[in-house]
Structure 1
Amino acid sequence: MRLSRGGGRRPGKSSTRAEILAAALELFATKGYSGTTMRGIARQAQVDPALVHHYFNSKDGLFQEAVSSRIDMSNLFESPTDEKPEAGLRDRGARIARTFLSFWEDESTRPALIAVFRAGLSQEAPAKAFLDRIEAALASWLGRVAPEETERTPVFTSLVTAQLVGLALLRHVVAVEPLASLDFEELVERLAPSLEVHLDRLRRE
């Protein structure tokens, strides 16, 4: 996380808006939606509070823009291998785990995901739309990776989503050990077989 540079104010400039968004996302991810204030964001970005209100009308609007600046819902969970249908026939458990979790491991997208889910856990309304869109994007992607399974039963999508999201929350939001410090490759290796169980059961039904 970027550390605050201390007190003081400075005038607006071309990069100020981006710096405010970065500061806001950092605070939303660490303090949650309720614990973050417009004045606190201004202090973190080292700008006059009036400048934050100049660029963003409300905390809700700032939250929406900060998250959108890091997460592109149009291609969330996409990967080059998804363009090849045959790629979904092998090691799907590992592919599902790796693709989803890689967004949490990526420093450019992790703060936005943490901010959304932390706010969602607190039942904050601004996060609801993002949570719904993330779940819809995941369900859509799973439909492409394992089309037969998702068409046959929505239970598959629900179980896989619950497992992936639950693990991500424990690892990155709640920071439960040893999940929080487990090597990423080992995490994927351990998670993949449990996802394959759902796939194998559907193949047998």
Structure 2
Amino acid sequence: MPTDTPSVLIVEDEPDLASLYATWIGDEYDVETAHDGSEALDAIDETTDVVLLDRRMPGLSGDTVLDAIRDRSLDCRVAMVTAVEPDFDIVELGFDDYLVKPVSKDELAETIDQLLLRSTYDEQLQEFFALASKKALLDEQKTEAERKASQEYAELEDRLAVLRVTVDDTMRELLDQGGYRQLCRDIVRESVAQE
């Protein structure tokens, strides 16, 4: 029986950590856990709204699971929740957000809420916020010299610049529909993260 409660799949190879995350968010969401990549691919389907995905796991890595999710064209948002420090390779990965462990209960809940909100946006805005999240993360983790030397980072900036121009039309539509207040909060959050 379908429910209006969002569904979250936690993919974490450390059972205690998966249980902790499930306890933190279990009152707000329908939560399922998977402890490896194969289990995750069996569990995820069109009813899954958000996947919290560990990047480094035995067997199928989080990157492989992420590729499989995108290859299946599943309409869910994915946050990497991992101890792997981000590098420029993240630019090409199809995730929506990236959290470096350890994460707090509030950080996890806020990320899920943001991803659920983004799922209501059109594809163009979803891509814009996913790319903006990657840029903010790299701005925080990498030096200016490292960013300037990275071709991936330059391409990320170019893609964001193109999207900023086209997103203006979408924002005008949201203004007309009254959805601008939350969108503005989301934009401010991404702008502050980039500073």
User: Would you say same fold, with TM above 0.5?
Assistant: no
* TM-score using structure 1 length: 0.28
**Which structure's relative contact order is higher, taking Cα pairs within 8 Å and 6+ residues apart?**
1
* TM-score using structure 2 length: 0.29
Q: Which has the higher strand share?
A: 2
